[in-house]
Amino acid sequence: MADANASPQSRPPGAWLARVQMFAGLSPRALDQLLALVTEVRHPAGEVLFRTGDPGDRMYVIVEGRIRISREVPGMGEEALVVLGPGDCFGELAILDDAPRSADAHVHETCKLLEIRKDKLEHLLYTNRDIGYEVLWNLVRTLSARLRETTDKVTFLAVTGRFQ
Q: State pLDDT tens for residues 46-61.
A: 999 999 999 999 999 9
Indicate the pLDDT class of residue 8, thresholds 50, 70 and 90: very low
User: CA-based angle 55:57:62, to the nearest 5?
Assistant: 115
pTM of the model: 0.82
Report the pLDDT value the prediction gives residue 115, as an integer from 0 to 100.
94
pLDDT tens readout for residues 112-162 = 999 999 999 999 989 999 898 888 898 888 888 888 988 887 787 778 766
The percentage of the chain sitting over the pLDDT mark of 90, rounded to a whole number, equals 45
Range of the domain at 26: 13-119+128-159
Q: Is residue 91 part of a domain?
A: yes
Total residues found in the chain within this entry: 164
pLDDT tens readout for residues 86-114 = 989 999 888 888 899 999 999 999 999 99
Annotate 52-74 with DSSP letters as a single string. Answer: TTS---EEEEEEEEEEEEEEEET
Q: Is residue 97 part of a domain?
A: yes
Domain count, the chain: 1
Q: Is residue 138 part of a domain?
A: yes
CATH code for the domain in which residue 80 is found: 2.60.120.10
Q: Is residue 4 part of a domain?
A: no
Contact at 8 Å (CB) between 45 and 108? Answer: yes
Q: Is residue 1 part of a domain?
A: no
Picking from 26, 22, 154, 28, the residue whose alpha carbon sits closest to that of residue 12 is 28
Q: Is residue 7 part of a domain?
A: no
Contact at 8 Å (CB) between 1 and 18? Answer: yes
Q: Is residue 83 part of a domain?
A: yes
